[in-house]
Structure 1
């Protein structure tokens, strides 16, 4: 029996790794299935609504946070749109 019979096994490792890398790259990148969002998607602009109202003026840098902030209470900050 010759020693050349095991060489295919040594070549199968890098070839299989390259094939797996290419298959995963194609699966997750989807470069052939992407579309040009700017050209193929239409978005209807709506008029801007709202108002600007001055609440308070803070001068200087004595206060490190805004009074009444709700940074930690994210459940009360984020609410469902009912309209």
Structure 2
């Protein structure tokens, strides 16, 4: 095989590696991205509830197969026609 053919064969993997690197840099653009952890300061405060928060109910496990008072089967009550046509 001549030297020209060997260079042509080497161009395939080199081109693939170059394309991979180009696409990686294009989509990752790590040199242009915002470094949230370094550039942003967030002051954490303790989690507190409002004074009027109160516990209403407690459901443990998955005993109830449905949500109480759901309207899944009440299609006619949930969906109404637009316009004045009542038929």
User: Are 1:66 and 2:70 counterparts?
Assistant: no
Q: Which ranges in structure 2 are unaligned for 5 or more consecutive residues?
A: 43-49, 73-87
After TM superposition, give the deviation of residue 27 of structure 1 in Å.
0.5
Q: How does the TM-score come out when normalised to structure 1?
A: 0.52
SS in 1 for 2:20: helix
After TM superposition, give the deviation of residue 15 of structure 1 in Å.
0.3
Larger radius of gyration: 2
SS in 2 for 1:33: coil
Q: Which ranges in structure 1 are unaligned for 5 or more consecutive residues?
A: 44-49, 72-83
SS in 1 for 2:68: coil
Aligned length: 67
Q: Counterparts of 1:29 and 1:58 in 2: how far apart (Å)? A: 45
Q: How does the TM-score come out when normalised to structure 2?
A: 0.50
The RMSD of aligned alpha carbons is 3.4
